[in-house]
Amino acid sequence: MRRIVSPSEMKEIDNSSKIPQIVLMENAGKSVAERIKNFGKSFLIMCGSGNNGGDGFVIARWLKKFKKYVKVIIFDENFKTNETKINFELLKVFNVEYKKFDEKEFIEDVKNFDVIVDAIFGTGFKGSLKDDFYKAVEIANNSKTIKVSVDIPSGVDGETGFIENIAFLSNYTYTFAYEKLGHYLFEGKIHRGNLEVIDIGIEEELAENKGFLYLEEEDVLNLLPKYKGYESKREKGKVLIIGGSKDFVGAVILNVIGALSSGVGLIYVVVPKKIYPYVVGRIPESIVIPVEDKDGYFSKESFIDLISKNLNFNSIVVGSGISRNESVKEFMNEIIKLDVPKIIDADGIWAISDKIHLLNEKTIITPHVGEMSFIINKDPYEIDRNRIKISLDFSSKNKCVLLLKGNPSVIVQNNLKFLNIWGDEKLARGGSGDVLSGLIGGFLAQHLSPINSTVLSAYLHSRSCEFFDKLTFKPSDIPKGISRLLRKLCCFF
């Protein structure tokens, strides 16, 4: 697994390191120079007054040693750290050309250099670019020159990924030790271009319990359910999917499609009896069970009928397509009392939004920002723009697993924190979340922990879309994508 930290956490890691800051700066700058030296013959390097500028001075010095033509642009000489001052003085020792920013001269420089390096502001930047900084970034962005950022594009908030007015639009970003939140959030993700993490020698133990983790390919193989090869279908888990209403028939079918992709042994599907004829013939791999309803909706009577059937199951998926009314609330109030691992999604979240605090550690909720707004009574836009903080605040007050959908999705439970950085806009289609819920429930039935079921499912679900084009992809294609992904990982299930 890889780690993503906040700028404040990275600063704490830096300050705790026993390696001198001047050594870390040298390691960082030299490593970037080695990676970009073949991008061109001439390099225009914009340097700020903090440590990011210090990294830029080191890059310039090494590129000069690599026989490249280098020109450094500074904005003032009031350098903020001793390390930056030292490396600025070393420019003079090695005869590296440097000039203070001049707009007219810079416009001409941009036309004549192969590569522009942005080492103005680092991940601690907040606010907006002003005056000469704004002008320099605007001019650079309008050029077709290769653009490289050191740590993060200047103008991007390293904590939130926000850009207030303008930011350097990079082709390549090189960051140090760990990726930062701003690399994956909102405009920051768009502006960073290709991202590479460089190991500059910081002690790994300093990052323990900090930031968020995300899965890589090798982690998937470790998380998938393990079998000896002679298990029966009942030994591979039984999932109970509860969904649908007279308003929405298709959602529960997509739940089943998702569950089938988990390898679960048996799938029970409970629907209001009014829609049973419209469901039963469409999902032959599942056992469809009608229950009493109230005019096509689940009700308290539905729960009584469900319990009377004495079904044996290992997990529950509930909420997709059940609609929003008082009888559904009565039904869901009983469902949440069942001491079975469960995932609650969609209308199910609406129905129990005032009872989230009652959910135990075996329960998963998977809201998008609109559904999250029912729970915390905040505007969906505000939730989206503050998804990290809001998810962490929620986790500190509740026991259940939260998967806040989006890009990236945030998955938290107590001190366990994950980001799902994969996927793209192809998944922004109605029904995609229903497939995800079924997938999670399928793994949950196979005795994966709630947090591992969620993290694994989010990864497989989001990467499944990589094998399809942006126009014709549909949620029902997700199983095909998962199959291709598993084959790519040399895993044949």
Omega before 408 within 30 of 0, i.e. cis? yes
* pLDDT at 491 (0 to 100): 53
CA distance 465 to 482: 8
Alpha helices in 164-223 (DSSP H): 186-191, 217-223
* pLDDT at 448 (0 to 100): 97
Low-confidence residues of the chain: pLDDT under 70 = 491-493
Whole-structure pTM value = 0.94
* pLDDT at 369 (0 to 100): 96
CA distance 460 to 241: 20
* pLDDT at 493 (0 to 100): 46
Mind listing the pLDDT tens digit for each residue in 470-487?
999 999 999 999 999 998
Mind listing the pLDDT tens digit for each residue in 227-250?
888 888 888 999 999 999 999 999
Cα dihedral 18→19→20→21 (10° resolution) = -110
Do the Cβ atoms of 119 and 52 come closer than 8 Å?
yes
Q: Which amino acid is at 459?
A: Y
Report which secondary-structure segment, H or E, holds 318: strand 315-318
What domains are defined for the chain? 9-210 (3.40.50.10260), 217-488 (3.40.1190.20)
* pLDDT at 228 (0 to 100): 84
Q: Which amino acid is at 79?
A: F
* pLDDT at 359 (0 to 100): 97
* pLDDT at 230 (0 to 100): 83
- Per-position DSSP letters for 450-484, written without gaps between them: HHHHHHHHHHHHHHGGGGS-TTT--GGGHHHHHHH
Alpha helices in 71-183 (DSSP H): 82-93, 103-112, 131-141
Q: Is 197 exposed, middle or buried (0-12, 13-18, 19+ CB in 10 A)?
A: middle
Q: Is 392 exposed, middle or buried (0-12, 13-18, 19+ CB in 10 A)?
A: middle
Closest by CA position to 403, among listed 446, 354, 367, 444 = 367
DSSP strand pairing (212-214 vs 2-5): antiparallel
* pLDDT at 152 (0 to 100): 98
